[in-house]
Amino acid sequence: MVNIDKDSLEKALNSGAAESSKTESPEPQAQLSPEEEIGFHKGALNTLAAERNELFKMIQNVEAIMQAHVKRLEELGVKIESGKK
């Protein structure tokens, strides 16, 4: 799990924007009201949560397919060693 320092979120976002703006022409940034900023962050979190859920489903599907291949290989007499140490 990724640890996020909520206190430095704004600083991290601004530093990323500063790095990307080095190659782009400087544009004045509009200031958002606190309500708009809250809405923006809530929307971003909802979108990211949905993306995380879809990624988890994809991982489950890949794992199921891999297990089916392992099972069939074992049925054919091929021994599969776990990559875990």
Question: Residue written as tokens 């979120």?
Answer: 9
- Digitized pLDDT (tens) for each residue of the chain, 85 residues in all: 556 666 777 776 676 655 555 555 556 677 989 999 999 999 999 999 999 999 999 999 999 999 999 999 999 999 988 776 5
pTM of the model: 0.54
Query: Could you tell me if 68 and 58 are in contact, meaning their C-beta atoms sit under 8 angstroms apart?
Result: no
Within 1-85, strands assigned E span none
Instruction: For residue 14, give the nearest of 31, 2, 1, 36 by alpha carbon.
Output: 31
Domain ranges of the chain: 32-79
